[in-house]
Structure 1
Amino acid sequence: MDTMECLRDLDLSGTALKELPSSIGNLIGLEYLNMDNCKNLVRLPDSFYKLKSLTTFSLRCCLRLEIFPEIMDTMEMLYKLDLSGTALKELPSTIDNLIGLKYLSLNDCENLVCLPDSLYKLKSFLRLSLCGSSNLVVENLFTAIGDRPVKQKHLPGLSLLK
C-alpha cells in the first residue's frame, strides 16, 4: 500500500483476516478502523502506532487476538479503543503512549490477568470497562490506577470504572 491520505473509515468487521499487513501504517488519514468479529485475527502489525489520525479502533470479539503490539510512539488522536472479547492476556507496557485515550473497553477478556502500571499515566482517561474479565486480578487493577481514589492526581478525568 502506498501512502493514502484520503481514506478516513475502514470497516473490516467479520472478515477472515489473520493479520493486517504492516503497510496499514501508510493509511495516514485513517480515523476509524473497525475489525469487530474478525475471528481469525491473531496479530496486529508493529506499525499500528503510525496511524496518527486514528480516533476509534474496535477489535470486539477478535477471539484469537492474544497480543496487542507495543506502541512505539505517541498517538494523540486515538480516544476510543475497544478490545472486548479478545484473548488478550495483558496490555502493552507502552499503553501510556495513547495519550489521548479516553475510553478503553476490556469487557469479557477472560484471559486478561493484569493491567500495566503505565495505565495510570493516561491523563485524558474517562472510562475503563472491565465487565466479565473474570481472571483480572483486582490488586493489579488498583496498582495500575495508582491505588488512588478515582478523582485524584493521575487520573483526574476518570469518572467511571466499570
Structure 2
Amino acid sequence: MEEEFVLDVEHDLAMFIGNCPKLNVTPYFPPSLEQLQLGKSNEQLISLRSFYRQFHPHASECSSSLSTFAEIHLKKLKLEEMTASSTDWELLQELTKLELLEIRLCNDLRELPKSMRSLLTLQRLHIDGCSALVVLPDWLGELCSLRELSVVRTPMIASLPQSTKNLTFLVELKVVGWVNLSQLPEAIQHLSSLQVLSLEGCGALTMLPDWIGQLSALRLLRIDRCSALQSLPHSLKQLTALRSLSITDCSGLARRYKKEVGDDWHLVSHIPHFMCF
C-alpha cells in the first residue's frame, strides 16, 4: 500500500520531508517557504507537475501555465538520497530565487540536471557523495552568481569544465575525494576572485602548477591527504594575500616545509598562519 501524507505549514519558512520512498504526496507548500529539504524519497516530490500542485493544490489540471512558480521564494533546497534521475528534476528551472542547492548521496545521477541552467541567482552549490556522477557539465559556467562550489566524494570526476573560468564571483572552491585528479584544472587559474581553495583526498595529484601564483585574491589554501605531492611551486611567494596554509597528511610535503628547518621553509615563511603535519 502506498503511503499518503498531507502537510499544511502555512506559517513555516522551512520544511523537511525524509525517509518516504513510497510517498504519494499532495502537501501544500506555501509560497513563503524559504528552505526545503527532501531526503530518501522518490521523484514524486521533485517532478515539475507534482511540485506545482503542491504549491497550488486547488489548481485544475488544465489551468494556465506553470509560470506562477515566480511567486515561490524558495532560497535553500537540499536533496539527499533521492531516487530520481536527472531528467526528473524539472522543478529546478522554476526556482528562480534559489541561492543554495545541496545534492547529497543521489547515486542515480550520472550528470547534473540541465534544469539547473536556469538557476542564475544560485550562490552556493554543494555536491557530495554522488558516486555515479561522471563529469561536470560545460554549462556550469552559466551560473553567473555562484560564489561557492563544493564537489565532494565524486570519484568518477577528474576535472572541471573550461567554462568554470566564467565564474567571476567564485570565492570558494572545494575539491574532495577526486581520486583520479592528477593535475589541477587550468580553468582555476582564471578565477580572479577565489579566496579559498581546498584540495583534499586527491591521492593522484602529483604537482601544483606555477600559475597558482596568479590567484592574487587567495587567502586560504588547504591541502589534505594528497600523498603524491612532493613539493609546492615557487610562485607561492607571489600570493601576498595568502593568510593561511594548511598541509595535513601529506608526508612528502611535511619534511620540506617544516618550520625553520625544512628545505623549502623560505617559500611559506611569509604566511601568517602556516600548519604542516
TM-score calculated relative to the size of structure 1: 0.80
Q: Of the candidates 150, 153, 158, which is equivalent to residue 269 of structure 2?
A: 150
Report the AA paired with residue 8 of structure 1.
Q
Aligned to 2:144: 28
Correspondence 1:116-131 to 2 at 5 A = 116-131=233-248
Aligned to 1:159: 273
Corresponding residue SS for 1:118:
helix
Aligned to 1:68: 184
Aligned to 2:125: 10
Contact map agreement 1:33 1:56 (CA 8 A) in 2: yes
Correspondence 1:47-58 to 2 at 5 A = 47-58=163-174
- Which structure has the larger Rg? 2
Closer, same or farther in 2 for the Cα pair 1:21/1:92, shift >3 Å?
farther
Residues in 2 aligned to 1:84 and 1:91: alpha-carbon distance in whole angstroms: 13
Larger deviation: 15-24 or 83-92?
15-24
Larger deviation: 67-76 or 111-120?
67-76
- Counting aligned pairs with the same residue, the percent is 27
Corresponding residue SS for 1:57:
strand
Residues in 1 aligned to 2:215 and 2:268: alpha-carbon distance in whole angstroms: 22
Larger deviation: 51-60 or 38-47?
38-47
Contact map agreement 1:19 1:41 (CA 8 A) in 2: yes
Corresponding residue SS for 2:176:
coil
Are 2:210 and 1:93 aligned?
yes
Larger deviation: 61-70 or 133-142?
133-142
The one-character-per-residue Cα deviations of 1:6-37 (angstroms, maximum 9, x if unpaired) are: 11111111123232123222222101111011
The one-character-per-residue Cα deviations of 1:62-104 (angstroms, maximum 9, x if unpaired) are: 2222221225764332111110111311112211222111111
Closer, same or farther in 2 for the Cα pair 1:50/1:96, shift >3 Å?
farther
Closer, same or farther in 2 for the Cα pair 1:134/1:68, shift >3 Å?
same
Contact map agreement 1:70 1:95 (CA 8 A) in 2: no
Contact map agreement 1:82 1:106 (CA 8 A) in 2: yes
Residues in 2 aligned to 1:40 and 1:29: alpha-carbon distance in whole angstroms: 26
Q: How far off is 1:132 after superposition?
A: 0.9
Residues in 2 aligned to 1:72 and 1:107: alpha-carbon distance in whole angstroms: 18
Closer, same or farther in 2 for the Cα pair 1:137/1:159, shift >3 Å?
closer
Contact map agreement 2:247 2:254 (CA 8 A) in 1: no
Bigger relative contact order, structure 1 or 2 (CA pairs below 8 A, ≥6 apart): 1
Corresponding residue SS for 2:139:
helix
Residues in 2 aligned to 1:144 and 1:98: alpha-carbon distance in whole angstroms: 21
More helix by share: 2
Residues in 2 aligned to 1:96 and 1:4: alpha-carbon distance in whole angstroms: 32
Corresponding residue SS for 2:221:
strand
Corresponding residue SS for 1:10:
strand
